[in-house]
Amino acid sequence: MRGVTPGIEQRQIAIHGHEVSYRTGGSGPVIVFVHGMAGSSATWRHVLPALAEHFTVVAPDLPGHGESAKPRGDYSLGAFASGLRDLLAALGHERATLVGQSLGGGVVMQFAYQYPERCERLVLVSSGGLGQEVNLLLRALTLPGAEYVLPVACTKRVHDAGTTVVGWLRNVGLRPSPHLAEVWESYGSLADAQTRTAFLHTLRSVVDQTGQRVSAADRFYLAAHVPTLIVWGSADRIIPVDQAYTAHNAIAGSQLEIFDGVGHYPHCEKPERFIEVLSDFMTTTAPGVLSPAEWQRLLHAGGV
């Protein structure tokens, strides 16, 4: 586990008999941060302290990830969204702005769809669920037999050796890119057998050999009624930036921020800009409020 930054606490809570680990701090309007596949709440460590000066921040480790429990169970977007709802209810937060990166983007969109009364804003960061194309390696890992390849490829020995090399480089003044550091941490998490199993269940619920198999495109008209910000790196090699433009054009009133030369982790690669963009979005938009009657009307209209 990577250390918790000053002003941010890492806590645990038992929900349905399973431990959920989360980072939290600050006060004010609630922002929930949801990480990507094989990641953890640690991915937000560069931005949480500054944002906690003005907002209440909550960043959970999704089930099967980080320090949270890794039970045999459901790792679908719907299950993640339900777990997120339960965590917020347990913490006493009725409504929140939801920020999701990669897989986390799909989770927060599913949350907004299942629990519209609890979602004030949506922030989609290099998000899944907005198109079909996705990195070839992720598609390959959905093939039969991947469960036998991963234990050989992802070993603690290899990860620790790489971490040692990174330490040597830092000692001589060289630093790995934030993008590489996040990828390396995700790789390292897969040395744990339970995490690998959860990873494969999660991956196969949203990706197959042809690409992303879950799309929010037919529900973009609903997102138009929630303040929505899309953040992407122009050099993203996991999910192409074209999907950001497509979603922005399809979601009326959405805001789009492209970080030039940045990869799949804008919040790690350009944290200062990410903090500025998110803070501005929070202060210049009013929380979305959808009544049951309005939700019913939208569903009947079906985007027409």
Q: Which residues form the catalytic set?
A: 102, 236, 264
Type of residue found at 135: N
Which of these, 217, 207, 199, 216, lies nearest to 238 by C-alpha position? 207
Type of residue found at 206: V
DSSP string, 104-143: HHHHHHHHHHH-GGGEEEEEEES-SSS-S---HHHHHTTS
Residue 21, SS3?
strand
- Rounded Cα–Cα distance for residues 146 and 154 (Å): 12
Q: 60 CB contacts (<8 Å, ≥6 apart)?
A: 20, 21, 22, 23, 32, 34, 41, 68, 84, 87
DSSP string, 222-271: HHTTS-EEEEEETT-SSS-THHHHHHHHHSTT-EEEEETT--S-HHHHSH
- Rounded Cα–Cα distance for residues 266 and 256 (Å): 13
Helix, strand, coil distribution of the chain in percent, nearest 5: 45, 15, 40
Q: Whole-angstrom distance between the N-terminal and C-terminal Cα of the chain?
A: 48
Q: How far is CA 121 from the centre of its chain?
A: 15
Sign of the Cα pseudo-torsion (232, 130, 218, 201, in order): negative
